Amino acid sequence: MENCIFCKIVRGEIPTHFTYENEYVVAFPDIHPKAPGHTLVIPKEHHQWFYEVPKETADEWFGAAQMLGLKLKEETGADYLQLSIIGKDVPHAHIHLIPQKL
Ligand SMILES: [Zn+2]
């Protein structure tokens, strides 16, 4: 989508350090982190809502979130990782991975 900020990030129009990338998804730090390590994981394809993301991409997306969640848990010493899926603030489906303490 032309004016979508996350599509611009995927296209490299907004310089962003990707902490992970594969054919389907990218991950990068949230610019307003709620905790150290707060990461966004997004499909490269534009879809507003998670249930609109095609199955193959969704599998990669959740697989990447799970893998990165474990990695972030180890790196930050968090007790667990919160996962939230939103598509309203930026209308491009995205997973928030937020390290949390019990
Ligand atoms: Zn988009």
Q: What is the pLDDT of residues 47-91, one digit of tens each?
A: 999 999 999 999 999 999 999 999 999 999 999 999 999 878 899
Measure 10 CA to ligand 1 centroid, in angstroms: 8
The model's confidence at residue 1, banded by pLDDT at 50, 70 and 90, is confident
Length of the chain: 102
- Per-residue pLDDT reduced to its tens digit, 21-54: 999 999 999 999 999 999 999 999 999 999 999 9
Q: Tell me the C-alpha distance between 92 and 102, whole Å.
A: 30
Are 57 and 24 contacting, i.e. CB atoms less than 8 angstroms apart? yes
Residue 55 lies in a domain: no
pTM: 0.95
Alpha helices in the chain (DSSP H): 5-11, 55-76
Specify if 68 maps to a domain.
Answer: yes
Query: Could you tell me if residue 75 is inside a domain?
Result: yes
Would you say residue 45 lies in a domain? Answer: no
Q: Which two tokens stand for residue 43?
A: 């499909």
Question: Given 38, 47, 92, 94, which residue is catalytic?
Answer: 94
| Count: domains in the chain | 1
Q: Tell me the residue range of the domain where 84 lies.
A: 62-88
Secondary structure of residue 20 in the 3-state scheme? strand
Known catalytic residue at 96: no
CA of 81 to the centre of ligand 1 (A): 25
> Is residue 72 in some structural domain?
yes
Q: How many whole angstroms from 44 Cα to the centroid of ligand 1?
A: 8
Q: What's the rounded Cα separation, in Å, for the pair 41 and 20? A: 9
Give the whole-angstrom CA distance, residue 59 versus residue 5: 23
